[in-house]
Amino acid sequence: MSFWHEKSLLEMTSEEWESLCDGCARCCLIKLQDDVVQYTSIVCQYLDQQACQCTDYSNRNQVVPTCVHLTPSTIPSWLPISCAYRRIDEGKDLEWWHPLVSGSKDSVHAAGISVRGKVISEAHVHPEEAEEQVIKWIEF
Ligand code: SF4
Ligand code: SF4
């Protein structure tokens, strides 16, 4: 049995908690919120799009106040259904492409789950053009 089978989110060590992130960077996409949340293909300017990793992770909530800070008691419903935190919170297992299952950080990219190659930085998009960038390929 693996730790995510045996422990709740609350029971995980900080190392286990961090390792649960699959590295998809879907949560770094800019979202529009009216009555409903809509994902766009615009991504936070602090994301390294090739690695799908934050370039200022330790300061992320200072540099981007709206950056989501996940805790075991705050798993937002707008997270993609693929998100490991959401899946475990809902009693589901990790998918085959999750690095903890596959043993490789590349599998999340190979499976087409990560945002690599699909996004544009917010630094290159005028805010008024965000609605034109709404995407449908993320289920949440
Ligand atoms: S959507 Fe979930 S699994 Fe993907 S990068 Fe964000 S926190 Fe990690
Ligand atoms: S600050 Fe970092 S973790 Fe937060 S949305 Fe931007 S790239 Fe993602």
User: What's the rounded mean pLDDT across residues 10-25?
Assistant: 97
Place 120 in a pLDDT band, splitting at 50, 70 and 90.
very high
- The tens digit of pLDDT for each residue in 54-105 reads 999 999 999 999 999 999 999 999 999 999 999 999 999 999 999 999 999 9
What is the structure's pLDDT at 1? Answer: 86
Give dist(CA 4, CA 7) in Å, integer.
Answer: 5
What is the structure's pLDDT at 106? Answer: 98
Taking residue 5's Cβ as centre, other Cβ atoms within 10 Å add up to 9
Please tell me if the CB atom of residue 46 comes closer than 6 angstroms to any atom of ligand 2.
yes
Ligand 2 pocket, mutate which of 53, 54, 120, 122 (most atoms under 8 A from CB): 54
What is the structure's pLDDT at 35? Answer: 87
Q: Is the pLDDT of residue 34 over 90?
A: no
What is the structure's pLDDT at 132? Answer: 93
User: What's the rounded mean pLDDT across residues 25-53?
Assistant: 96
Vertex 139 angle, CA 85 and 3, to 5°: 20
Please tell me if the CB atom of residue 22 comes closer than 6 angstroms to any atom of ligand 1.
yes
Shortest-distance Cα residue to atom 7 of ligand 1: 21
Cα radius of gyration rounded to whole Å, the chain: 15
What is the structure's pLDDT at 109? Answer: 98
Place 13 in a pLDDT band, splitting at 50, 70 and 90.
very high
Assess contact for 4 and 90: CB atoms under 8 A. Answer: no
Q: Is the pLDDT of residue 121 over 90?
A: yes
Please tell me if the CB atom of residue 12 comes closer than 6 angstroms to any atom of ligand 1.
no
Where are the domains positioned within the chain?
Answer: 3-133
Residue 29: nearest ligand to its CA? 2
| Nearest atom within ligand 2 for CA of residue 44 | 6
Considering only 17-21, 90-94, 128-132, which range has the smallest mean pLDDT? 128-132
What is the structure's pLDDT at 126? Answer: 94
| Nearest atom within ligand 2 for CA of residue 57 | 2
